[in-house]
Structure 1
């Protein structure tokens, strides 16, 4: 597979962890996933550590504040935004202390523009997605903030290759016109695919980090993500449908990488790594790709974030993913 920054038989995580100790969460990541670690997110710390608040804290010249209904644009940053800045700074300080000499691919995660637009409210209370001008401003602001964030991480990890994962669980709903209004009584109009692709591209092109787009929602728009510049796509393997197969095959042939979730994000009894890989291996066989192509192009992950899991399960799930990735590598050599 061309231009993929990971080695054969690699595993990583999606992003979120339980608990409120960034040092401990990062230690677990570095211990269990040495080939592709990532900066864990800890939403249990409260407002500003959630995926929307954390990304909103990166916005440049756009202030947000937390209201009872959720995050809303404001005249000045609220205390929860200031707290988000403080928590992210602490995370990055911890990252530099524990992994400053790390050399290899390293992943960070930021909520994407369309999920943000479907979540942050305008000052009068409706979602930003309703207002095209507000969406344009949000995309430009996020692009600038993400570029600064990537530069900060790169300064702290000067030997690492930075992978930027944009989390877009809301994108399928944005395209389908199923995002509810603030009142919940109706739905916002669908965003046309070319417009959605362009907005995502603007954020991706703001930085030279290796771009990944993650969505654990059904109806992943593979072609749109590739058109926007995503070089890898992260999805839950259990959500793959027959209708996705042609799009996945085209993406693989084009050299797109995949991060495929093979274990649930909440506590469950884990099967053997080989059993967890069954769905993925069968799909690649149906598409006519060799085990070598699978092992080179796929990174093994949990199905989604691990914020709702127990600490013990987090360790077990990440270890399981690492073992499954090694099975893929061994299979490729047969």
Structure 2
């Protein structure tokens, strides 16, 4: 039976402290402890109609190299770089920080062999998408990658090749895993709308048209499909813009992540176009995954209520949303989406998911499933 709802996280997980590891009887090795804890939380479906999607954490937040941006850069095939005063720079030789990011990814793969021994089920890996990487990284000249069209065009192929190698290694270590990829495009709106500042800060880079962003996504999908990972096993973050949604569909996306908090109201022209685009895509078989903050004090309840109310105003019932996935997230990417935070900035460890956030998600899931059967 198809699950009513699938629960997962955004690819991050704050590493247990030594004290927490001792209390929970976990190993003192952070990658192994984190993955064992995640398996205990998400390694089994809650019930027949509530599924979970275990994920390999791409960021534990232990140091400046242990975040999603360097973890994604470590995937880029045949690419070198380093962390400098103004951010992550590509192509200057492999520096210590870059090498450490690669080592952290290898350590997590090795931890998977132990922590996920005998595991059979969904297993997701996470990376930033090419549009976000273009706005978050710099070239040797000091310009952002976004300022070099040739470098931007190279990103999806470099990322795809690296992801294929990573997925192959992961499958070897966890043979029973059904692999899934989450491509987070946290800064795609800022890139598309021309809100990324130049190094001087006195101007901004020209907007990247949705059609060109769609070409980047299409290159990724084609390369991943050649590996054997079809579009139903890839979730793409598409922001809250109808032109980006259409570009994603044209690129072949079948699963798209949206954040209810970012969606414009149905009463606005932009909102009407976007919501009708979402409904049309859903009718065509596309699946939408909802990015929410389940932590106490978050806006989970109001966000989902707003979404269901809008869904009903479009002529759908709550039951029509059955099969959705819900991605736990701290909300850290919302400021990136709006352009308030530079995508190259070093994130705080507090922006990563922790055990309490995932437990909160698991607690509210039964009430969602019940609603989707109405």
Q: TM-score range by the shorter chain?
A: 0.7 to 0.9
Q: Which runs of 5+ in 2 are unaligned?
A: 17-29, 45-51, 266-270, 333-347
Residue 43 to residue 319, structure 1, CA distance change in 2 (3 Å) = closer
TM-score calculated relative to the size of structure 1: 0.87
1:226 partnered with 2:266 = no
2:182 corresponds in structure 1 to: 165
User: Matched residue of 2:212: which SS?
Assistant: helix
1:28 corresponds to: 37
Partner in structure 2 of residue 324 of structure 1: 364
Secondary structure of 2:4's counterpart equals: coil
CA contact (8 A) 1:9 1:327 kept: no
Change (3 A) 1:206 1:23: same
**Partners of 2:75 and 2:351 in 1: CA distance:** 29
| 2:9 is the counterpart of 1:13 | yes
Distance 1:276 1:132 in 2: 37
Asked if the contact 1:129/1:135 (under 8 Å) is kept, the reply is yes
Q: Given the alignment of the two structures, is residue 302 of structure 1 paired with residue 302 of structure 2, yes or no?
A: no
Map Cα deviations across residues 72-117 of structure 1 (whole Å, 9 max, x no partner).
1234211111111110111111122111322222211011111111
Residue pair 1:222, 1:247 contacting (<8 A) in 2 also: yes
1:278-293 pair list within 5 angstroms: 278-293=305-320
Q: How many residues align?
A: 324
Separation in 2, partners of 1:270, 1:122 = 38
The answer on whether the counterparts of 1:113 and 1:142 sit within 8 Å (CA) in structure 2 is yes
Q: 2:293 aligns with which of 237, 245, 263?
A: 263
C-alpha change, 1:274 and 1:305, in structure 2 (3 Å) is closer
Q: What secondary structure is seen at the aligned counterpart in 2 of 1:255?
A: coil
| C-alpha distance in structure 2 between counterparts of 1:232 and 1:147, whole Å | 19
Q: Cα distance 1:6–1:190, how it changes in 2: closer, same or farther (>3 A)? A: farther
CA drift at 1:304: 4.2
In terms of mean alpha carbon deviation, does 8-17 or 21-30 score higher? 21-30
In structure 1, stretches of 5+ residues that fail to align are: none
**Aligned to 2:156, which of 139, 143, 146?**
139
1:266-310 Cα distance to aligned partner (Å, 9 max, x none) = x64368x876742332232223233333121x1122244687549
**How far apart in 2 are the matches of 1:238 and 1:275?**
9
Is 1:91 matched with 2:108?
yes
Tell me: CA distance 1:239–1:89, structure 2 relative to 1, closer, same or farther (3 Å): same
1:238 corresponds, among 261, 264, 271, to: 261
Structure 2 CA distance for aligned equivalents of residues 153 and 282 of structure 1:
41
- 1:248 alignment partner in structure 2: 278
Match of 2:137 in 1: 120
Question: Paired residue for 2:221?
Answer: 204
Cα 1:103/1:136, change in 2 over 3 Å: same
Asked whether the 8 Å contact 1:92–1:153 carries over to 2, the reply is: yes
1:47-62 matched pairs, under 5 angstroms: 47-62=64-79
| Alpha-carbon offset, residue 68 of structure 1 | 0.7
Q: SS at 2:55's partner residue?
A: coil
Does the 8 Å contact 1:144/1:206 carry over to 2? yes
Query: TM-score under structure 2 normalisation?
Result: 0.78
CA distance in 1: counterparts of 2:99 and 2:331, whole angstroms: 24
**Residue 126 of structure 1, CA deviation:** 0.3
**Is the partner of 1:15 in helix, strand or coil?**
coil
> SS in structure 2 opposite 1:212?
strand
The structure-2 alpha-carbon separation of the partners of 1:286 and 1:304, relative to structure 1 and needing over 3 Å to count, comes to farther
Which of 180, 185, 203 does residue 186 from structure 1 map onto?
203
